[in-house]
Homo-oligomer: A and B are copies of this chain.
Amino acid sequence: MADTQPNIQGPPTIYDVARAAGVSIASVSRVLNGHRNPRQETRDRVLRAVAELGYVPDGAARALSARLKEVVGVVFRRVPWVETGDGAFPEEEESLQFTDVINRGIEVAAQRGGYNLLLGSVVIDEHDAHRRIMTMARKSDGLVLHDRVLEPSRLAELSRHVPVVTMAGVATQTTANVRSDSGTGMTELARHLIHDHGYLTMAYVAGHADSPDNIARRLALAAEAASSGVLLMEGPQWQGNYLASGGANVVSRLLSDGVRLPRVIVCANDQTALGVMHALAQHGIDVPGEIAVTGFDDIPVARHLRPQLTTIRQPIAELGATAFELLRSMIGNHEPAEHDIVLPTRLMRRASCGCPPVTAPTGQLSRSVLLAKSDSAAPAERDAPADRRPGADIAVPGQRPAPADSPEGAKS
């Protein structure tokens, strides 16, 4: 078959394969798409030619003809880049771990279904975000929209063109939504803080004020605080933005204003907690000894922080995968089975709330493991847990930890 030359340049087309195999392009297409029609001999010849030429169908041609791109678009909201003084190029300031893990969940599910993921970001207040999103829509079979990438009014218009699934949003007549159970999760956390730890004062560092997740978390926390007579500080001073910088700014501002801080700071998400813990540490305030801090999400780094972050785990990757499956069920003008899918959450008790830290199961190690002499004091050993649980990083719903500080009295 050495005489069968493909096009002068560029990848081989289906015509090249057909010529090499001595069949029509229809047969090539049938073999490649797994129809059972072609007989074995035809199939063999086609497959051989395909292998020889290294043929892979062009995605655009396939999409145009089959009316299916096998691509799902994902739009998320990105922090605008900040120009740094020292280089020609801007750098990103924040990580978006929650978003990234969701996207990974979407991608894995999409892959299984033979889809690829078209990723695009939008910046706050970008005036023609909807145009860019529309362009993405026309490059995909459907769209997953993260929180707050498009005004609700535009949403309706968009959903007339392609199926749309929102993440952590609100289901509409024409769009479906996937979220996790923020209310139940926050209620569980609040009860742990109030009843297990006996904390009497708390604050809520909010996420975006109009985010449904933020609202649900705030309300659940407020309800528990009210029913237990616990003081809950919230409001403009405590307004964050789901970012570490937002959490850090809230704390720094309050401290420099001389505002007295509560015993626990409950954060709208882990990223915020990251910033809050950072700011507290900068000011020499011990967590959880002086102030306990909690998050929401359980992003991968949560367990690597010092102290490890007590938080509500969302099944983050699964949220993404669920969004993909839901979207796929809508592709082809089908109605989704459900319009609002809610996944469960669970409390992860770690050290930042005041629960005993989990240390290595091997127990205390001899100092002889240190090759180098050190002139620094050995680190203060924190209170050894009464009920040392090897798997305490895993949620144990039925189990109550020993309170890390003594209750300060009930319902002051």
Chain A residues within CB distance 8 Å of chain B: 9, 11, 54, 56-61, 63-64, 69, 71, 78, 81, 87, 89-97, 100-101, 103-105, 107-108, 111, 116-121, 132, 134-140, 157, 160-162, 199-201, 244, 252, 255-256, 258-263, 274-275, 277-279, 281-286, 289-291, 299-301, 303-306, 315-318, 321, 333, 358-360, 362, 364-365, 368-381, 405-406, 408
Contact present for B103 and A119 (CB under 8 Å): yes
B60, B121, B260: which contacts A64 (Cβ < 8 A)?
B60
What chain B residues lie within 8 Å of A360 (beta carbons)? Answer: 252, 255, 279, 282-284
Contact present for B381 and A290 (CB under 8 Å): no
Contact present for A107 and B91 (CB under 8 Å): no
A-B pairs with beta carbons under 8 Å apart, 30 shown: A11-B160, A54-B161, A56-B161, A59-B138, A59-B140, A60-B60, A60-B61, A60-B69, A92-B101, A92-B300, A93-B300, A97-B100, A107-B121, A116-B119, A199-B372, A201-B372, A255-B369, A258-B368, A260-B370, A277-B304, A284-B364, A285-B365, A285-B369, A285-B379, A290-B370, A290-B378, A301-B301, A304-B305, A374-B405, A375-B405
A299 CB to nearest chain B CB (Å): 7
B58, B368, B370: which contacts A138 (Cβ < 8 A)?
B58
What chain B residues lie within 8 Å of A376 (beta carbons)? Answer: 286, 289-290, 405
Contact present for A139 and B120 (CB under 8 Å): no
Contact present for A139 and B379 (CB under 8 Å): no
What chain B residues lie within 8 Å of A374 (beta carbons)? Answer: 263, 289-290, 405
What chain B residues lie within 8 Å of A60 (beta carbons)? Answer: 59-61, 63-64, 69, 139
What chain B residues lie within 8 Å of A259 (beta carbons)? Answer: 369
B108, B306, B333: which contacts A281 (Cβ < 8 A)?
B306
